[in-house]
Amino acid sequence: MQSAFAIAGQLIQPGENRLLRLPLPGLHSETSVHMPVRVIHGREAGPVLFLSGAVHGDEINGIEIIRRILSLPSLKRMKGTLLAVPIVNVLGFDSHSRYLPDRRDLNRCFPGQEEGTLAARIANIFMQEIVVRSSIGIDLHTAAIHRDNFPQIRADLKDPALYNLAYSFAAPVLLHSAPPVGSLRHAAAHKSVSVMVFEAGEALRFDELSIRVAVHGILNVMRELNMLPPAKARKKSRPTVLLRSSHWVRASKSGILRAQVKLGDIVNKGEVLGIISDPTGQSDQMVLASGDGIIIGRTNIPLIYEGEALFHIGSSHQRALLADHLDTLSHQDELTPPELVEEPVIV
Ligand SMILES: [Zn+2]
């Protein structure tokens, strides 16, 4: 028999779906600020999964991903507990900023501390109320402003609890990466809570494909955790492609970039990725792929400085599998749960 779930000084009963507001430090005007948390506590016992969005305040895809997940009727029959936090960095979100008003990157301030800086206090509240009450987490990100990411999972595959789950998400690509110090993922690992990051799309924009890949992936993970029953009569997800490493190709000079490749393109070493020119077009310099792989991130702004990261290439041995999975992405209906009637976001 499932017992009540304690969070934020309240008890959530089995079968209950409740919106909580975690109090945060307020504004100069003394306007109060809170972090919204939707708690769905299943009638039957199971894992506690958290979903987090907008840890970087301008990365908003996760908000729409979480909204769609919360609209699914199948959650009424869910086992275990779902903690959905669409906006972690509320202050950054309200000012369309990646950072907090104290100019700190919240995702480098975890685990935070109760008596610390503004960022440390918010990180601490999230750790105490959400992370330590969970067994698994999925943290939803996009690329930074003027950049775009191909849908991908990042996880430390040395964590045995994450290995199967990261594959079960069935994103087109999976990048093994150790979590950066100070990140939510890093601090959670120290509390034995396994967190994977979903990276897709760009800041301050919705991207329909990224949203669909994530909704599909989160449902896959919930099925793998037995929080939801297996999918009925649906095609098996295409297997995710493991990227063994990734590297950035940087600008060799400042100038104006004409990109020649898009996200998801498969490239070969030496291939032209872009051309950097001066304002009057007197000299062109080619940007060449420094290895074989797939474009998993790129800049969208043509105005670039020497040393700037332009194209992120992920390397894989599984190129045929990759081409096959890329083909799936052109059929977005395959990614959509039948019970989710949703008009696509058009951009
Ligand atoms: Zn981010």
pLDDT tens digits, 88-141:
999 999 999 999 999 999 999 999 999 999 999 999 999 999 999 999 999 999
Q: How far is the CA of 98 from the centre of ligand 1 (A)?
A: 8
Report whether pLDDT(251) > 90. yes
* 323 inside domain: no
pLDDT confidence of residue 235: 65
| Structural domain contains residue 322 | no
Ligand 1 centroid–CA 141 distance in Å is 4
Supply the pLDDT for residue 233.
61
On whether residue 345 sits in a domain, the answer given is no
By the 8 A CB rule, do 289 and 269 touch?
Answer: yes
Average pLDDT over residues 290-306: 96
Q: What is d(CA 224, CA 278) in angstroms, rounded to the nearest whole number?
A: 52
Find the 220 Cα to ligand 1 centroid distance in Å: 22
Exposed/middle/buried for 11, CB within 10 Å: 0-12, 13-18, 19+?
exposed
Q: For the purposes of burial, counting CB atoms within 10 Å of the CB of 177, is it exposed (0-12), middle (13-18) or buried (19 or more)?
A: middle
In a domain, 342, yes or no: no
My answer on whether 113 and 189 are in the same domain is yes
Among 89, 42, 63, 306, CA closest to 207: 63
Q: What distance in angstroms lies between residue 137's CA and the mean position of ligand 1's atoms?
A: 15
Rounded to a whole number of angstroms, the distance between the first and last alpha carbons of the chain is: 47
301-329 per-position pLDDT tens digit: 999 999 999 999 999 888 888 888 877 77
Q: What are the tens digits of pLDDT across the range 219-247?
A: 999 999 999 998 876 566 778 999 989 99
CA–CA distance, 13 with 154 (Å, rounded to integer): 34
- Asked if residue 4 has pLDDT above 70, the reply is yes
Cα–ligand 1 centroid distance for 146 (angstroms): 13
* pTM as predicted: 0.96
Q: Is the pLDDT of residue 182 over 70?
A: yes
Q: Measured in angstroms, how far is the CA atom of residue 77 from the centroid of ligand 1?
A: 32
Cα–Cα distances (Å) from 161 to 47, 174, 214, 220, in that order, read: 12, 15, 20, 15
The Cα 115–Cα 95 span in angstroms is 24
Compute the average pLDDT of residues 178-192.
97
Cα of 295 from ligand 1 centre, angstroms: 18
User: Do 50 and 158 belong together in one domain?
Assistant: yes
Provide the 3-class DSSP secondary structure of residue 209: helix
Of 19-28, 226-235, 284-293, least confident by mean pLDDT is: 226-235
- Return the ∠ at Cα 336 (arms to 216 and 82), rounded to 5°: 40
Is 19 part of any domain? yes
226 and 307 assigned to the same domain: no
Residue 146 domain flag: yes
Last residue of a domain, one of 240, 257, 291: 240
Could you read off the pLDDT of 190-200 as tens digits, one per residue? 999 999 999 99
Say if residue 156 is in the same domain as residue 272: no
- The domain of 254 spans 245-315
* Domain match, 229 and 168 both: yes
45 CA → ligand 1 middle, Å: 32
Residue 204 pLDDT: 97
Q: Are residues 265 and 305 in the same domain?
A: yes
Read off the CATH number of the domain in which 189 is found.
3.40.630.10
Q: For residue 181, give the 3-state DSSP assignment.
A: coil
How many structural domains does the chain have? 2
CB 75, CB 147: distance < 8 Å: no
Both 281 and 162 in a single domain? no
Q: How far is the CA of 265 from the centre of ligand 1 (A)?
A: 23
- For residue 150, the CA-to-ligand 1 centroid distance in Å is 13
